[in-house]
């Protein structure tokens, strides 16, 4: 199983420029998580801080008991071997062909023979659709191919934790769909903990178990996918729908005059930029038939059911609707009846601290609803 990553109060600035502060979250072992956020909010800085390439001002990032913010250089070097990282720009060595680029971590960190290395490199190149391109230099291939080569290189050491910075950027929609499937298949095969930074809403809706979002120097959310996908936080809705209308502007934050102007224009019929109203939970991708089941899915279900009562009603609803009859029995949820579709929603025993947490999150400790602990039925779910 992949390693758990526990991040507490992580804060980073460059000189006077604060990037983000007090980021607290846990990447559950073997689960796939996505981090969203407008351009420039510090997502790449976050990934680099997680592997100790950048030094946060304060806070912790603990992996297998090692806090990489404060540990020795030697421990950091050791811990880094657990990671496979796909950097945003691919970070390939320009003077090495793809074969040597992908072989590099194996030559650097292992004592494998060239025959063993060859087998692994060719397998990863095939996995990422690059068979036949081994001899090309990074400057001789397309941007999407460079991205895939970066991914192949991130995978050669069988990492426990995989970080992917915009793996889909520069890929066409079909390759992005293949890449999404590849990430799920990889997780099924090696049960690694995966964190993906992306702007691709399709990928964010169908791949991860957990989704977070950075905005205005804070982690606005991090938790089970159902929470963000049903959220009516204006910034989340705007982002998922790719609309101009909302708190995010061209230079991240928008002033109220600009906001009022855009609202008036939209009210007068000017296109707000979105092409469809993207809301709600869509089915998650499954591993390709023939591959093992994802172990993280079962672990996550157990984990999420224990915190179900702490989640907002719409997320509870989505989670309960996705349970099979056998799962409903396992979690002690009575069979649904047409008038009580979410009867008997489970109350967990574990404190919410056991999972991904968000400081000051409005859904951490929901106010008890009079007379019921159940999720609202769909017809009550109005938009405020
Ligand atoms: N090494 C550095 N030194 C100083 N400032 C930096 C450094 N790296 C990043 N920054 C600044 O940190 C901020 C966040 O950058 P980052 O690359 O993490 O954004 P991002 O969320 O990944 O954006 P995008 O979605 O466009 O990739 C930017 O303002 C950037 O200029
Ligand atoms: Mg970035």
Q: Looking at residue 335, what is its pLDDT?
A: 67
Residue 165: which region, alpha, beta or left (left: phi > 0; alpha: psi -120 to 50)?
beta
Rounded distance from Cα 116 to ligand 2 centre (Å): 34
Cα–Cα distances in Å, from 18 out to 35, 37, 62, 221, 257?
19, 16, 22, 19, 25
Residue among 14, 38, 250 to mutate when testing ligand 1 (max atoms within 8 A of CB): 14
Q: What ligand is nearest to the CA atom of residue 15?
A: 1
Q: Write the residue with the smallest CA distance to atom 5 of ligand 1.
A: 14
Residue 375: name the closest of 314, 302, 307 by CA: 314
Helix axis angle for 143-155 and 98-109, nearest 10°, is 20
Name the β-bridge partners of 213.
36, 221
Tell me what the mean pLDDT of segment 217-241 comes to: 88
Q: Looking at residue 336, what is its pLDDT?
A: 61
pLDDT over 70, % of the chain: 85
Tell me what the mean pLDDT of segment 256-271 comes to: 78
Rounded distance from Cα 295 to ligand 2 centre (Å): 30
Indicate the domain borders of the chain. Answer: 5-226, 233-279, 295-368
pLDDT tens for each residue of 362-371: 443 334 444 4
Rounded distance from Cα 218 to ligand 1 centre (Å): 14
pLDDT tens for each residue of 16-41: 999 999 999 999 999 999 999 988 89
Rounded distance from Cα 256 to ligand 1 centre (Å): 25
Whether residue 211 is predicted with pLDDT greater than 90 in this model: the reply is: yes
Whether residue 226 is predicted with pLDDT greater than 80 in this model: the reply is: yes
Q: What is the chain's mean pLDDT, rounded?
A: 83
Sheet holding 83-86, edge to edge: 83-86, 161-165, 193-197, 32-36, 210-215, 218-224
Q: Is 39 touching ligand 1 by the criterion CB < 6 Å?
A: yes
Residues 207 and 183 sit within 8 Å (Cβ to Cβ): yes
348 confidence band (pLDDT: 50, 70, 90):
very low
Tell me what the mean pLDDT of segment 143-157 comes to: 88
Tell me what the mean pLDDT of segment 182-191 comes to: 90
Cβ atoms within 10 Å, residue 115? 7
Tell me what the mean pLDDT of segment 189-202 comes to: 92
Q: Write the residue with the smallest CA distance to atom 14 of ligand 1.
A: 42
Q: Write the residue with the smallest CA distance to atom 6 of ligand 1.
A: 14
- Sorted by sequence, the CB contacts under 8 Å of residue 293 that are 6+ apart come out as 188, 287
pLDDT tens for each residue of 71-108: 999 999 889 889 999 887 778 898 999 999 999 999 98
CATH topology of domain 5-226: Rossmann fold (3.40.50)
372 confidence band (pLDDT: 50, 70, 90):
very low
Say how far residue 259 (Cα) sits from the centre of its chain: 29
Q: Which two tokens stand for residue 169?
A: 């950027």
- DSSP secondary structure string for all residues of 325-358: HHHHHHTTPPPPBTTBTTTT----SS-GGGS---
Alpha helices, H only, 64-218? 73-80, 98-109, 114-127, 143-155, 173-190, 201-206
Residue 235: name the closest of 225, 220, 256 by CA: 220
196 confidence band (pLDDT: 50, 70, 90):
very high
Q: Is 35 touching ligand 1 by the criterion CB < 6 Å?
A: no
pLDDT over 90, % of the chain: 43
Residues 44 and 165 sit within 8 Å (Cβ to Cβ): yes
354 confidence band (pLDDT: 50, 70, 90):
very low
Name the β-bridge partners of 211.
34, 223
287 confidence band (pLDDT: 50, 70, 90):
very high
Question: Which has the higher per-residue pLDDT, 344 or 91?
Answer: 91
Length of the chain: 384
What is the β-pairing status of strands 17-27 and 5-14?
A: antiparallel
Alpha helices, H only, 139-255? 143-155, 173-190, 201-206, 225-229, 234-241
Rounded distance from Cα 21 to ligand 1 centre (Å): 14
Q: Is 169 touching ligand 1 by the criterion CB < 6 Å?
A: no
Q: Looking at residue 188, what is its pLDDT?
A: 92
Whether residue 51 is predicted with pLDDT greater than 70 in this model: the reply is: yes
- Sorted by sequence, the CB contacts under 8 Å of residue 354 that are 6+ apart come out as 303, 306, 307
pTM: 0.83
Whether residue 59 is predicted with pLDDT greater than 90 in this model: the reply is: yes
Tell me what the mean pLDDT of segment 174-197 comes to: 90
Q: Looking at residue 191, what is its pLDDT?
A: 92
Question: Which has the higher per-residue pLDDT, 34 or 262?
Answer: 34
Q: Cα separation of 96 and 99, whole Å?
A: 8
Among 19-33, 115-129, 270-284, the minimum mean pLDDT is found in 270-284
């Amino acid at each position: 199983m992949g390693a758990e990553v526990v991040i507490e109060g992580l804060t980073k600035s460059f000189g006077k420029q604060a990037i983000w502060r007090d980021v607290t979250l846990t990447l559950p072992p073997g689960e796939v998580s996505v981090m969203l956020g407008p351009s420039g909010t510090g997502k790449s800085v976050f990934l680099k801080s997680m592997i100790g390439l950048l030094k946060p001002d304060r806070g912790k990032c603990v992996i297998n008991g090692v806090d990489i913010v404060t540990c020795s250089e030697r421990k950091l070097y050791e811990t880094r071997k657990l990671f496979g990282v796909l950097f945003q720009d691919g970070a390939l060595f320009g003077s090495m062909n793809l074969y040597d680029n992908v072989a590099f971590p194996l030559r650097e960190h292992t004592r494998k023979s060239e025959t063993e290395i060859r087998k692994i490199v060719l397998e990863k190149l095939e996995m990422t659709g690059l068979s036949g391109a081994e001899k090309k230099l990074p400057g001789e291939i397309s941007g999407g191919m460079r991205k895939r080569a970066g991914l192949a290189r991130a995978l050669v050491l069988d990492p426990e934790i995989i970080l992917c910075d915009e793996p889909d950027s520069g890929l066409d929609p079909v390759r992005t769909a293949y890449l999404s499937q590849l990430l799920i298949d990889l997780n099924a095969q090696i049960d690694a903990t995966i964190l993906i930074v992306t702007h691709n809403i399709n990928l964010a809706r169908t791949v991860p178990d957990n989704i977070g979002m950075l905005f205005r120097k804070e982690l606005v959310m991090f938790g089970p996918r159902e929470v963000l996908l049903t959220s009516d936080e204006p910034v989340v809705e705007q982002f998922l729908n790719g609309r101009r209308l909302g708190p995010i502007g061209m230079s991240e934050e928008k002033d109220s005059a600009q906001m009022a102007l855009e609202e008036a224009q939209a009210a007068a019929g000017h296109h707000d930029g979105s092409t469809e109203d993207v809301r709600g939970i869509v089915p998650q991708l499954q591993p390709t038939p023939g591959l093992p089941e994802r172990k993280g899915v079962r672990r996550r279900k157990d984990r999420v059911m224990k915190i179900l009562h702490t989640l907002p009603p719409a997320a509870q609803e989505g989670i309960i609707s996705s349970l099979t009859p056998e799962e409903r029995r396992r979690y002690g949820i009575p069979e649904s009846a047409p008038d009580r579709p979410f009867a008997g929603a489970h109350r967990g025993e574990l404190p919410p601290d056991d999972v991904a947490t968000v400081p000051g999150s409005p859904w951490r400790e929901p106010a008890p609803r009079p007379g019921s602990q159940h999720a609202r039925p769909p017809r009550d779910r109005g938009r405020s």
